[in-house]
Amino acid sequence: MTHPLLHRLTADLNWPALDDADALDAYTATPGTHVVFLPGDPARNLETADVAVILPELRQAFQGRFDCALAAGAAEAAVKDTIAFHKTPNLVFYRDGAPIGTIPRVRDWDDYVMRVAQILNLPLAAE
């Protein structure tokens, strides 16, 4: 994760950097709603830097209703194996260890707000 905006997420904002499937599973299994940011290759995909700036703003706008982590390497591959969308950058929302929604690519702010609200308002899984 050499891109400075990705580095900022883990170094300055203290978001976990998930490097393998075990770290991904441990992170997403904790209580609450989690967003795993799949950056893809920031050198090839210029949208990655945009999403790296937008995601912290979304978290703030939703007053911390979800936490965030950055996936890399084997963790990014593990997420891609479990979701239908393989486009990056991608925000994958988890609850109770299972993916509940995704927001691929860069969107306009209103679309992000609408999609995040829809995902956060999904009912909890049946007990």
Confidence (pLDDT) at 1: 47
> What per-residue confidence (pLDDT) applies to 29?
95
- What per-residue confidence (pLDDT) applies to 123? 82
pLDDT of residue 125: 59
pTM score of the predicted model: 0.92
- Ordered domains of the chain (ranges, CATH): 4-60+76-120 (3.40.30.10)
Residues comprising the chain, all counted: 127
- The number of beta carbons lying within 10 Å of the beta carbon of residue 50 is 15
Q: What pLDDT sits at residue 8? A: 96
pLDDT along the chain (127 residues), means of 10: 88 96 94 95 92 97 96 85 80 93 95 98 69
**Before 4, cis peptide (omega within 30)?**
no
Contact 121, 67 (CB under 8 A): no
- The pLDDT score that the predictor gives to residue 73 is 85
What's the confidence (pLDDT) of residue 32? 94
The helices-and-strands tally (H runs, E runs) of the chain is: 5, 5
